[in-house]
Amino acid sequence: MNPTRIAYQGEPGANSHIVCNEHHPDAETLPCASFEDVFAAVASGKADLAMIPIDNSIAGRVADIHHFLPTSGLHIVAEHFLRIQFSLMAVPGASLDTIRTVHSHVHALGQCRRIIREHGLTPIISGDTAGAAREVADAADPTQAAISPPLAAQIYGLEVLATDVEDEDHNTTRFIELAPDPRLPLPGSPTVTTFMFNVRNIPSALYKALGGFATNGVNMTKLESYMVGGHFTATQFLAEVDGHPDDAGLARALDELTFFTTEIRVLGVYPADPFRR
C-alpha cells in the first residue's frame, strides 16, 4: 500500500512541514509553492491530504484561504495546533556580530521584532520561513541570517545563533487538514463544525440568522465576513461552532439559518483538537 501523501505550502522545514511530520510521521510530504497549488494537488489526486494554516494567535486569519475553501470541493477532517518557535540562523562561521540582514516571511519578521531591533538588523521579506533559510544557505554570506523553524537549520546546514526568538510565547498557529471525502466523527464526542453562508440583503438578516445559535445554546467560536464578487451588498460569512450537525441544538440552529440566507455550505465536521481545552 502506498504511503499517504500530504501537500503543504512552503519549502521543506516550514511550520506546515513540521505539523505534517508530527501528525502523520509515516506520510510522504509534498511541498507546494502556493496555497492554490496545495488545493490543486489534492483535487487532482497527486496528494491525499492538504495541511493548511488558517489562524494565528498573533497575526489573525491567514489571507487567501477563504477564497479557496468554499470552492475547493475538499472537506476539513481534522485540526491541529502548533506552538510556533523560530530560531535565528546563519551559515557556519557567522555570528551575531557578523550578520547585518535577516530574511523571513513577512509574518515571521513581524512576530520577531525584538531580536531584529536589538541587533539592528535589516529585515528582508521572503516567500516563506523555510525558503528564507534556503536562500541564506545558498548565498553563503556571513552577513545574512534567517528567522526560520529549527527544522530548517537541520535541512539546510545552518547554525542556530539564537533560539525562541519570537516576541510572544503564546504564538500558536491552527492548521486544518483537508481531504476529498468527509470523515464524520461520532455524535457526542467533542466536535467542531465549519460552514459558510450568505445572508439575504434585508434589514437585520445577520442578527436574525445568528439568533438561532443563541436560543439553541450553540457556542460559536468563529465568525468572519468576506465580500463576494466585489459587491458591497453581498456578504459571505465563515463560521465555526462547537457541536455535530446531528446534535439537536445545532440541527435546529442550522435549520433556522436557512430562513435568512441564500446559501449554506458545511465545509467540515471534525474532532476538536485537545488544545482547545
Mean pLDDT by 10 residues, the chain (277 residues): 85 95 96 94 96 88 79 93 96 97 94 96 95 97 97 97 93 95 85 93 85 96 82 79 95 94 93 91
CA distance 124 to 122: 7
Query: Distances in Å between the alpha carbon of 58 and those of 6, 82, 169, 173, 231?
Result: 26, 13, 10, 9, 29
Q: CATH topology for 5-84+171-179? A: D-Maltodextrin-Binding Protein; domain 2 (3.40.190)
pLDDT of residue 58: 82
Residue ranges covered by each domain of the chain: 5-84+171-179, 87-162, 191-271
Catalytic residue among 35, 39, 68, 175: 175
Q: Whole-model pTM?
A: 0.89
- Sheet order of strands, 87-90 included: 122-125, 101-104, 144-148, 87-90, 159-162
Cell reading at 43: 483535487
Cα 220 to the chain's mean position, in Å? 19
CATH of domain 87-162: 3.40.190.10
- Whether residue 173 lies in the annotated active site: yes
- The answer to whether residue 163 is catalytic is no
Sign of CA dihedral 103, 54, 238, 274: negative
Superfamily of domain 191-271: ACT domain (3.30.70.260)
**Model confidence over 79-114: pLDDT tens digits?**
999 999 999 999 999 999 999 999 999 989 999 999
Catalytic residue chosen out of the listed positions 173, 191, 193, 194? 173
What distance in Å separates the CA atoms of residue 40 and residue 273, rounded to the nearest whole number?
Answer: 26
Beta bridge partners, 173, equal 56, 82
Angle at 270 between CA 267 and CA 274, to 5 degrees: 135
Q: Would you say 87 and 148 are in contact if contact means Cβ atoms under 8 Å apart?
A: yes
Fold equal for 5-84+171-179 and 191-271 = no
Burial class of residue 63, CB neighbours in 10 A (0-12, 13-18, 19+): exposed
Dist CA 240 CA 243 (whole Å): 9
Cα–Cα distance for residue pair 164/169, rounded to 1 Å: 8
- 3-state SS, residue 119: coil
